Amino acid sequence: MDASAITALDYSRLGPPEGTRVAIVGGCGGIGRALVNACLETGLKVAVLDLPSSLQRHAPPETCLQHAIDATDEESVNAAFGSVADAWGGLDVMVNLCGFTNEFEPVANMTAATWDEITNGNLRSAFLCARAALPLLKTSERGAIINTASGLAYKGLPGTAPYGAAKAGVIALSKSLANENAPDIRVNVIAPGAVDTAFLRGGTSRTGDDENHATHIDTERYADATPMKRLAVTDDVVAPILFLSGDAARFITGQVIHINGGGYMP
């Protein structure tokens, strides 16, 4: 591309321009709901794809498209993105927030079923959603995928092997997608540390219970060990997602953005 043909940036708006079509997988979770609200507040068109129970428990605003999805099931994923194609004819951004882990458990005590459940819920889901989204994103002039990993993909902490391995796989998948689909579609990854949501307390869309679980970590100790001396809140994650979705990040692809207050510095 001739550099002289690149349009000037609007520095007053570092996120996507108004009217951008954004599909959010896992849009009913803590980060997802905050992202949906931020997208709507900035004039974006939003499709929320999540489990039926999640859509019922945390119903998206009426202005959103919504479709039930089991992100580990190929037929369900294809149907959900097919509904987006039917409604919009294409897509500009796909944000995949899908993922979960169970109680921390060492590999020596882990069943193969537990391993498969966690890796499928994080890595297989990322593959299926990316594959289904690609044809829609190819219709856009600013196609982008933002996948979600974790610092645990790098740290290898005890009890987190399937989750960390799956999130490392999400990173590798995203880098391959970035190379395979450039320059038409950018693919990047966010890797949050601990975020103060129900997920941190063991709640997930799968359990149907957002709050009544023990925390996976000692939050006070975690915050004290973090240079910024606190946990992340949802807005700390939403803002980088919007940045990566917009024209201000048009020359960024295949990258991992760590959002952890300095708790991990690769």
User: Alpha helices of the chain — where are they, by DSSP H?
Assistant: 30-41, 52-57, 74-88, 112-119, 125-137, 152-155, 161-181, 219-225, 234-245
Select the CATH number that applies to the domain covering 16-259 from these four: 3.40.1190.20, 3.40.50.720, 3.40.50.300, 3.40.50.1220. 3.40.50.720
Does the pLDDT at position 55 exceed 60?
Answer: yes
Name which residue leads in pLDDT, 153 or 5: 153
pLDDT (average), residues 228-240: 94
pLDDT (average), residues 201-226: 67
Token pair 């349009």 is found at 7
3-state helix, strand, coil in the chain (%, to 5): 45, 15, 40
**Residue 186 bridge partners (DSSP):** 144
pLDDT of residue 222: 87
**Residue 94 bridge partners (DSSP):** 23, 145
Does the pLDDT at position 3 exceed 80?
Answer: no
What's the whole-model pTM score? Answer: 0.92
Does the pLDDT at position 86 exceed 90?
Answer: yes
What distance in Å separates the CA atoms of residue 204 and residue 54, rounded to the nearest whole number? Answer: 9
Give the chain's length. Answer: 266
pLDDT of residue 205: 52
What distance in Å separates the CA atoms of residue 172 and residue 115, rounded to the nearest whole number? Answer: 19
Q: Please state whether beta strands 45-50 and 185-192 pair in parallel, antiparallel, or not at all (unpaired).
A: unpaired
pLDDT of residue 4: 59
Token pair 């974790």 is found at 150
What distance in Å separates the CA atoms of residue 169 and residue 162, rounded to the nearest whole number? Answer: 10
Token pair 């069943």 is found at 111
Q: Which two tokens stand for residue 79?
A: 């149907």
pLDDT over 90, % of the chain: 82
The string of DSSP letters for 162-202 reads: HHHHHHHHHHHHHHHHHHHHTTTEEEEEEEE--BSSGGGGT
pLDDT of residue 266: 87
List pLDDT tens digits, range 243-265.
999 999 999 999 999 999 999 99
Locate the domains of the chain by residue range. Answer: 16-259
Does the pLDDT at position 218 exceed 90?
Answer: no
Does the pLDDT at position 200 exceed 90?
Answer: no
What distance in Å separates the CA atoms of residue 201 and residue 187, rounded to the nearest whole number? Answer: 29
pLDDT of residue 76: 98
